[in-house]
């Protein structure tokens, strides 16, 4: 499919997702004609021209969301609003105060290869990985980015051959994260290009393989699949946290590992990710990419994330200072466990769908033995339904079609991370769906 | 020059700039052998592997900077630390407090074309432009980015033809901002490529022209120079503020205008820029770029910048609430005026250099009539000195060679924005340079 069409298609899905809610809310609850507006990329009204009052907007949105619960449920994207309640309950423990004179300079630490990395954030990352045991950090370079999306592109730039006659292939085993092909190809770079499903990659050429584990969208643990010479592996470990999956007794120790605040603590609006890199030259070149693209990363985000990560670690290492069930990973594990049970019950009741089964694993962090409970559900429409996304959209549940992940449209990816009310409404509606 | 070599050359200059200071500090003040470390991109020690204690580091750096004043003076990059003193004097008026539950969601305002733009930041931008009168905002779209660097790339993506047989040329009149060629070409995009000096561009093909006004590096006001059909103009107005140049009685009203917090308030570490765009399709596609590259922009940065910009406007609109000389643009104007006088006196004394002359203009904002006092000095080595950057480096003053700006190496660009002590040391040393 032509790239421009793919990108437009991707955004159309997202646009419909968010827009549908507002259209229905306005139409049914305000008695107005539906506005011809798409809230993502295709606004036709005077958006952006006058900013709304923030507090009134938030209150209005909360009211509308509650009213709209009978209408469109948007689970297309992984907006992690599930985590809001925990951080609200934590009160002012994670409040940060930033005076006006801070962060004037471009530079954070001129002694550091990654000179825009705030030392407090680096410290918090190292402490967190030591606590959870999910990644080696000693003798490794840390590179910070505006989300792991930004760092993914930094790695592509860093590892692509500079003087090759053709772009290096970037592959990942289907179902792969839907954004990988879009991000890889949207600038038509001469350095790298999307090479499709890693299982289909038979060319005896250099390649970059993305190994996402746990995988987005299906939650399965992953290993490299190409296993040829001249391959460079990028391990996207965004979901390798103990609320989603068991942590191995050996910390992950790959050459390039990507993490994001969005899926660890839930602060997606902070726009912060980090890479743990073995090779100095790669870390340097990734830093170069971040400098050329954005001259560094928000220091406010780094300061705030440092505070949040430190308190998160405190909830585990200094439990006496916190209430029962405030240990972040325990709280989040319980939340995910409850949601997955609720979802499996709904799927069982409906008898029209299936979900992946996950092997039980012993978690070295928590001591629990449990089956993975991923951030997304990879739902399959059984029987004769060929287009699961359309089928569910007909029932006003917005999901992302399997075709965007290199898989059959019989599958959809559904976010498990919305607010409680939305998730409850979703499982209620799912369980009531029958062929109609 | 091969691109990789250009990029390495660019970073080598920056690396040497920062490195030299540390090398000399260690060598002369610590009695140690010089470490073989380059602090930017070529670290060979264990940087990034263990983060340093922030407070001790800042204190140490302040001491070292004072000690190092007799040594290397780095004015290669425009780190705007000059502004620190003003924001320190403002005390807690611009302090922001951010609770832990904020900014979980990816979304800021789903009613907005630019759905990751925080309404408070949009409001602050609109108020500031209305106060200063330097740009039209009514009936315009605002797109936010991680610095204007990020937005420059967003515009290139947004306006490049999608199905052209070759990349569109991106040009700017020399001397142009040294980063433009690097940023345009570092990914070898199939959509756009650097086309060099706009004055040399004679091809009858589509093109994108960057008009930076006031210009970086020479501070001159600029108009488009290509003036052919099929041209798209990007106006980079990073320095179009009343501390640097007089503001016209008609607000700037170009199709695409870029601004940055870094050079307006001085908060370079915040990594925030904004674009004011007439055309909705362009604004949409710029938003698409920001989404694909970083899924939005730090909300913490936007919240903080909103507060800072609002207080800045208050210092002008509610002067009674502030001390004398606290009105931001007055304070900064006076600071720049003092520095340029000091610089011109030093150049006069040395008799080896020259600076641009600027026409006096009436500022509609302040009512003053004055000659521009830009953020950078475009210094020329007169006489037989062919390589001004080398000549000044010999005198331990680090600058950026004119060759990086598409101009003769007889020119260098020097930052006027360092801290007071550094700037005073620079003008002292400059005035004492003679042929030796």
Chain A hits for B267, CB-CB cut-off 8 Å, are 103-104
Which residue from B minimizes the CA distance to A164?
A: B188
What is the dihedral sign for C-alpha A294, A300, A303, A309? negative
CA distance A353 to chain B (A): 29
Please answer yes or no on whether A49 and B141 come within 8 Å at the CB atom: yes
Please answer yes or no on whether A53 and B109 come within 8 Å at the CB atom: no
* Residues A96/A307, Cβ–Cβ less than 8 Å: yes
Which residue from B minimizes the CA distance to A186?
A: B292
Helix (H, G, I), strand (E, B) or coil at A261: helix
pLDDT at residue A325 in the model: 85
CB-nearest to A104 from B50, B80, B106 is B80
CB-nearest to B54 from A41, A50, A119 is A119
Length of chain A as a residue count: 436
ipTM confidence:
0.87
Chain B interface disruption, residue of A53, A128, A170, A271, most B CBs within 10 A = A271
Please answer yes or no on whether A119 and B80 come within 8 Å at the CB atom: no
* Residues A214/A175, Cβ–Cβ less than 8 Å: no
Give the Cα separation of A249 and B192 in Å (integer). 48
pLDDT averaged over every residue in chain B: 88
Chain B hits for A11, CB-CB cut-off 8 Å, are 288, 291
Please answer yes or no on whether B295 and A126 come within 8 Å at the CB atom: no
CA distances to A189, B160, B162, B196, B210 from B166, in Å: 13, 10, 10, 16, 19
pLDDT in tens, A238-296: 999 999 999 999 999 999 999 999 999 999 999 999 999 999 999 999 999 999 999 99
Read off the DSSP letter of residue B29: I
CB-nearest to A47 from B94, B112, B289 is B112
Q: Which of A420, A379, A402, A389 is nearest to A17 (CA)?
A: A389
Q: Identify the residue with better confidence: A45 or A311.
A: A311
Chain A interface disruption, residue of B123, B271, B332, most A CBs within 10 A = B271
CB-nearest to A123 from B51, B109, B190 is B51
* Number of CB atoms found within 10 A of residue A353's CB: 23
CA distance A339 to chain B (A): 19
> Is the pLDDT confidence value at A42 over 70?
no
pLDDT in tens, B394-423: 999 999 999 999 999 999 999 999 999 999
Which residue from A minimizes the CA distance to B35?
A: A111
Reported as half-sphere exposure (CB side, CA atoms, 13 A), residue A73 has a value of: 26
pLDDT in tens, A145-194: 999 999 999 999 999 999 999 999 999 999 999 999 999 999 999 999 99
pLDDT in tens, A65-105: 655 555 899 999 999 999 999 999 999 999 999 999 999 99
* Residues B429/B388, Cβ–Cβ less than 8 Å: no
* Residues A271/B297, Cβ–Cβ less than 8 Å: yes
Q: What predicted TM-score, i.e. pTM, was given to this entire model?
A: 0.87
DSSP-based helix, strand, coil % in chain A, nearest 5: 40, 15, 40
CA A351 from chain centre, in angstroms, equals 29
> Is the pLDDT confidence value at B14 over 60?
no
Read off the DSSP letter of residue B189: B
pLDDT in tens, B188-203: 999 999 999 999 998 8
Q: Which of A436, A403, A401 is nearest to A75 (CA)?
A: A401
CB-nearest to B142 from A48, A109, A280 is A48
Give the Cα separation of A64 and A51 in Å (integer). 19
Q: Which residues 6+ apart lie within 8 Å of A95 measured at CB?
A: B97, B98, B99, B100
CA distance B259 to chain A (A): 14
């Amino acid at each position: 499919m032509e790239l421009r069409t793919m990108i437009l298609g991707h955004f159309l899905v997202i646009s419909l997702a968010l827009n549908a809610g507002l259209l229905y809310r306005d139409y049914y609850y305000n008695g107005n004609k539906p506005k011809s507006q798409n809230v993502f990329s295709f606004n036709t009204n005077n958006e952006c021209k006058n900013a709304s009052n923030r507090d009134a907007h938030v209150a209005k949105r909360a009211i509308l969301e509650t009213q709209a619960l009978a209408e469109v449920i948007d689970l297309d994207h992984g907006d992690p609003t599930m985590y809001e309640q925990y951080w609200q309950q934590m009160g002012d423990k994670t409040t940060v105060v930033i005076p006006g004179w801070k962060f004037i300079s471009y530079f954070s630490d001129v002694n550091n290869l990654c000179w825009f990395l705030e030392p407090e954030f680096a410290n918090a990352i190292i402490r967190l990985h030591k606590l959870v045991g999910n990644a080696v950090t000693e003798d490794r370079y840390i590179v910070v980015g505006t989300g792991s999306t930004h760092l993914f592109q930094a790695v592509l730039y860093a590892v692509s051959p500079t003087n090759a006659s053709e772009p290096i292939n970037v592959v990942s085993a289907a179902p792969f994260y839907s954004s990988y092909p879009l991000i890889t190809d949207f600038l038509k770079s001469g350095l790298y290009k999307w090479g499709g499903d890693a299982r289909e990659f038979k060319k005896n050429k250099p390649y970059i393989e993305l190994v996402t584990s746990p995988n987005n969208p299906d939650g399965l643990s992953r290993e490299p699949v190409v296993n040829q010479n001249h391959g460079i592996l990028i391990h996207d470990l965004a979901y390798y946290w103990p609320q989603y999956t068991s942590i191995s007794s050996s910390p992950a120790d790959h050459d390039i590992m990507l993490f994001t605040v969005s899926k660890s603590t839930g602060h997606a609006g902070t726009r912060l990710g980090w890479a743990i890199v073995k090779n100095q030259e790669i870390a340097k070149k990734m830093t170069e990419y971040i400098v050329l693209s954005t001259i560094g990363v928000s220091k406010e985000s780094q300061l705030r994330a440092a505070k949040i990560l430190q308190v998160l670690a405190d909830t585990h290492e200094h439990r006496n200072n916190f209430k029962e069930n405030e240990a972040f990973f325990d709280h989040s594990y319980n939340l995910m466990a409850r949601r997955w049970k609720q979802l499996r019950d709904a799927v069982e009741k409906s008898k029209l769908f299936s979900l992946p089964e996950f092997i039980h694993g012993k978690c070295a962090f928590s001591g629990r033995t449990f089956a993975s409970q991923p951030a997304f559900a990879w739902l399959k429409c059984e029987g004769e339904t060929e287009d699961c996304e359309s089928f569910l959209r007909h029932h006003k549940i917005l999901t992302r079609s399997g075709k965007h992940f290199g898989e059959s449209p019989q599958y959809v990816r559904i976010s498990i991370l919305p607010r409680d009310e939305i998730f409850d409404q979703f499982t209620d509606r799912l369980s009531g769906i029958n062929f109609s």
